Amino acid sequence: MPLLSSMPHPRAAGRSLLLGAVLVLSTGLAAAASSKGCEGGGFRVLGLSGKVDTTVPASAVAARFLVQGKYVQFEVDAASFGIRNYVLTGAANPLDMTGGVPTTVFAAKLPDHRGATLTSGVDVELNDEGIELMREGPQVTMKLQAKDCASGGVFQMEVERVDETSTVFTHTLATNPGNPTLSTFYFDNRNFRNREGDAVPYKDTTVVVTPRINFGNDYSAKLVGRDSPQVATRIPDPTCVNGIFRRNGTIDNVAHCGLTSRWDVASGGRMGMVFGEDATEVAPPATLCTHQCQAQNRVKGRSTVLGFPFLVAPGDRLMPRR
């Protein structure tokens, strides 16, 4: 899961608390291999590349702009900082999960600002394989962070509102009509269900296995991801109730759709996204923190990774996928 640390941004004076929380986007067992997963990575955005720390004037920011990396690319809606068409490019890498095939994982991750818009220039910080983007409006501030890596903790979206109310984020997975095996879907991970209630090693103690929702597709046996919240709660969807069998034969009714998930994110909270082993490790939830967040839950290869089944059984796929 993502780790947060308190590292004030150079332009943080007098600005929102979001500037004080910087994401370290690689954790757990994947951290040991992060140099391989990110080799040669680096983003280009708004005509910038290399090591950059600047502000792009609002007049130079298109309504939608592309963040292009070697392993990752996505589009940003400038007025909301929602993202669209999050793609794993399939570039050659030892930790590639796509089988070398460009794979659109998410069609969109969109915050509902309830009419508020972002209007300032865009703060851009590029450093090695990482990027940080921030933009403000009179009522809301948004920050996006990403790593150009083939696996691990690779993306985070943060929000802060002046009125300190929460924001609903809607995540929509990608559909590929030309090759349905590349269409992404949410599923209830059977490897976790079969160990539900077990105490497994974690650092110098143990942690109890709880159910896990992941996403993947029918093409790649390595592609697995997870929505990773901090001070955010998933909103159950009563129109998508799935009966999932527990190990004891009883049924757990999971109110989660196969194509979308919606999250209530506190002001100062954040939604992350992790891939690979980070998505299937057994670890405690992220610490509750909305400002001056310190590094927490560092795993350093001392968690239990349960993996996921491929192909996913029909009964574990969350439906309907619409």
- Give the per-residue pLDDT at 1: 38
For 52-103, the pLDDT digits (tens) are 999 999 999 999 999 999 999 999 999 999 999 999 999 999 999 999 999 9
Compute the half-sphere exposure of residue 186: CA atoms within 13 Å on the CB side of its CA: 24
- Distances in Å between the Cα of 72 and the Cα atoms of 38, 64, 136 are 10, 17, 25
- Give the per-residue pLDDT at 284: 86
Q: For strand 52-56 and strand 122-127, is the pairing parallel, antiparallel, or unpaired?
A: antiparallel
Nearest residue to 194 via CA among 245, 252, 242, 243: 245
Report the 10 Å Cβ neighbour count for 125.
19
Place of tokens 């702009």: 65
- Give the per-residue pLDDT at 8: 37
Distance CA 241, CA 7 (A): 42
- Give the per-residue pLDDT at 291: 63
Per-residue pLDDT of the chain (322 residues; tens, 9 = 90+): 343 333 333 344 334 445 444 333 433 333 334 579 999 999 999 999 999 999 999 999 999 999 999 999 999 999 999 999 999 999 999 999 999 999 999 999 999 999 999 999 999 999 999 999 999 999 999 999 999 999 998 999 999 999 999 999 999 999 999 999 999 999 999 999 999 999 999 999 999 999 999 999 999 999 999 999 999 999 999 999 999 999 999 999 999 999 999 999 999 999 999 999 999 999 987 766 666 554 344 444 578 999 999 999 999 999 998 7
- Give the per-residue pLDDT at 296: 41
- Give the per-residue pLDDT at 68: 98
- Give the per-residue pLDDT at 29: 31
SS3 per residue for the chain: CCEEEECCCCCCCCCCHHHHEEEECCCHHHHHCHHHHCCCCCCEECCECCCEEEEECHHHCCCEEEEECCCEEEEEECCCCCEEEEEECCCCCCCCCCCCCCEEEEEEEEEECCCCCCCCCEEEEEECCEEEEEEECCCEEEEEEEECCCCEEEEEEEEEECCCCCEEEEEEECCCCCCHHHCCEEEECHHHHCCCCCEEEECCEEEECCCCEEEECCCCCCCCEEEEEEEEEECCCCCCEEEEECCCCCEEEEECCCCEEEEEEEEEEEEEEEEHHHHCEECCCCCCCCCCCCCCCCCCCCEEECCCCCCCCHHHECCCCC
